Amino acid sequence: MIGQNTKLNENDVSTADNLTIRRPDDWHVHLRDGDMLQAVAQYTARQFARAIVMPNLSPPVITAAAGAAYRDRIMAALPEGCDFEPLMTSYLTDTTDADDLAQGFADGIFTAAKLYPANATTNSAHGVTDVANLHAVLERMQKIGMPLLVHGEVTDSEIDIFDREAVFIERILSGLARDLPELKIVFEHITTSDAVDFVMASGPHVAATITPQHLHINRNAIFAGGIRPHAYCLPVAKREQHRLALRRAATSGSPKFFLGTDTAPHEVAAKETACGCAGIFNAPYALESYATVFEEEDALDRLEGFASEHGPDFYGLPRNEGTVTLERQPVDVPENIAAGGTGIVPFHAGEQLGWRFAG
Ligand SMILES: NC(=O)N[C@@H](CC(=O)O)C(=O)O
Ligand SMILES: [Zn+2]
Ligand SMILES: [Zn+2]
């Protein structure tokens, strides 16, 4: 719904002063644990009603008991009575037990299960070495309607880092989708036109999340005038042609694409170092960042579908009640957000965005 505007036609999406949409969800977040969880959970809970919480803690969240305990720690990190629901995920390993996983899903502890190819990204050392090891687990997930979430990159060091997503589609994902046609698969944080094409060509059980950073930056941002650790995440940003394909997909109105920020906080000290961690912390200005892209693409009227409808529809969960409003007002993104000793540099640090989250 586009807000009333006294000066302009109220149907003119691109010039309205505010934008009110159904309360959105974030279908891919890293909330971490301990002090970092305490520092960052509020940012996701402020903008989103629900979030799919990644299980790549150290050690990873594998059992239903660990998932339930982590959910309790997340709620304890938020103010009393906070209206936010963390949706927990189980980290798949070579030895995941199908019965345990199905039980965790039936008990409402796990909403989905996450496939990290071993060593693909942060805290994925316990990930899956060969999807063949997961066959029985994936068949069970298909049967019970439990979504599979995928970090879609091969880990073969012989494969160029910019090709790892496309090669993952060829070598692994296309076979999975073919062999398990009813399995709900979310291809997480897609970064290439190859991924967009694959999702579009697949049946209704294959969807994808798209992050703000992959809509805003291409790989040049990582090397702009020097090496830029705060623009580095995995999968790494690709060429401009891929960014443009992602923008078309996100703003297309297709129910196969939905919001997943992949907010991935790392302290400054862990980013600005000889071997900096992968991950961009975008939770504090997530909706403002997406709204900027949708406005640039003349598609503000499609933000609600992407942010608040396609995700729950795919997962088979109810859409949220209530609304949030974005106002057309300049917002200065700070250089650093307090957390731990050195803080975190947020996405868009030092920039001005044109939308303000009004609650
Ligand atoms: N996206 C990232 O660059 N990093 C994530 C892991 C992930 O989502 O792959 C993290 O946990 O830091
Ligand atoms: Zn990932
Ligand atoms: Zn992630």
ipTM value, please give it. 0.98
Q: Could you tell me the distance, in angstroms and rounded to a whole number, from the CA of residue 235 to the centre of ligand 1?
A: 8
- Model confidence at 356, in pLDDT bands (50, 70, 90)? very high
Q: What residues form DSSP beta bridges with 114? A: 91, 149
More confident residue, 9 or 178: 178
Cα–Cα distance between 145 and 191 in angstroms, integer? 26
The b-or-e profile of 72-107 (16+ CB within 10 A means b, else e) is ebbeebbeeeeebbbbbbbbbbeebebebbbebbee
Cα–Cα distance between 141 and 125 in angstroms, integer? 23
pLDDT, tens digit, 9 for 90 and up, residues 274-330: 999 999 999 999 999 999 999 999 999 999 999 999 999 999 999 999 999 999 999
Going by their DSSP bridges, the two strands 110-115 and 323-327 should be labelled as unpaired
The pLDDT of 48-64, averaged and rounded, is 97
pLDDT, tens digit, 9 for 90 and up, residues 337-353: 999 899 999 999 999 99
Q: Is 234 in the pocket of ligand 1 (CB under 6 A)?
A: yes
Catalytic residue among 25, 26, 194, 262: 262
- 1, pLDDT greater than 70: no
DSSP state of 170: I
- Mutation probe of ligand 1 site: the residue of 30, 52, 188, 266 with most atoms within 8 A of C-beta: 30
Cα–Cα distance between 59 and 63 in angstroms, integer? 11
Which residue has its alpha carbon closest to ligand 1 atom 2? Answer: 279
The pLDDT of 154-158, averaged and rounded, is 94
- 79, pLDDT greater than 70: yes
Residue 279 CA, closest ligand 1 atom number? 3
Q: Which long-range contacts (CB under 8 A, 24 or more apart) does 180-183 make?
A: 180/138, 180/139, 180/142, 181/205, 182/142, 183/138, 183/141, 183/142, 183/148
HEC assignment per residue over 119-153? CCCCCCCCCECCHHHHHHHHHHHHHHCCCEEECCC
Which residue has its alpha carbon closest to ligand 1 atom 6? Answer: 122
Q: Is 233 in the pocket of ligand 1 (CB under 6 A)?
A: yes
- 5, pLDDT greater than 60: no
Question: How many percent of the chain have pLDDT more than 90?
Answer: 94
Question: Residues within 5 Å of ion ligand 3 by Cβ?
Answer: 262
pLDDT, tens digit, 9 for 90 and up, residues 196-253: 999 999 999 999 999 999 999 999 999 999 999 999 999 999 999 999 999 999 999 9
Annotated binding site for substrate: 30-32, 56, 151, 234, 266, 278
Q: Is 25 a catalytic residue?
A: no
Q: Is 71 in the pocket of ligand 1 (CB under 6 A)?
A: no
Comparing CA positions, the residue from 260, 287, 300 lying closest to residue 353 is 287
- 87, pLDDT greater than 70: yes
Side-chain-side CA neighbours of 254 within 13 Å: the count stands at 21
- 8, pLDDT greater than 80: no
- Model confidence at 16, in pLDDT bands (50, 70, 90)? confident
Residue 189 CA, closest ligand 1 atom number? 8
What pLDDT, on a 0 to 100 scale, did the predictor assign at position 9? 46
**In degrees to the nearest 10, what's the CA dihedral of 287, 288, 290, 296?**
150
Residue 30 CA, closest ligand 1 atom number? 11
Which residue has its alpha carbon closest to ligand 1 atom 4? Answer: 279
Residue with tokens 């803080």: 343
Q: Could you tell me the distance, in angstroms and rounded to a whole number, from the CA of residue 5 to the centre of ligand 2?
A: 41
Going by their DSSP bridges, the two strands 85-91 and 110-115 should be labelled as parallel
Side-chain-side CA neighbours of 2 within 13 Å: the count stands at 19
What pLDDT, on a 0 to 100 scale, did the predictor assign at position 6? 37
The pLDDT of 74-94, averaged and rounded, is 97
- 113, pLDDT greater than 90: yes
Q: Are 70 and 36 in contact (CB under 8 A)?
A: no
- Model confidence at 13, in pLDDT bands (50, 70, 90)? low
Domains, the chain, ranges and CATH?
25-321 (3.20.20.140)
What pLDDT, on a 0 to 100 scale, did the predictor assign at position 244? 99
Omega within 30 of 0 (cis) for the link into 235: yes
Mean pLDDT over the full length of the chain: 95
What pLDDT, on a 0 to 100 scale, did the predictor assign at position 4? 44
Omega within 30 of 0 (cis) for the link into 265: no
Written as one string, the DSSP assignment of 15-68 is: G-SEEEEEPP-EEEE---SHHHHHHHHHHHHHH-SEEEEP---SS---SHHHHH
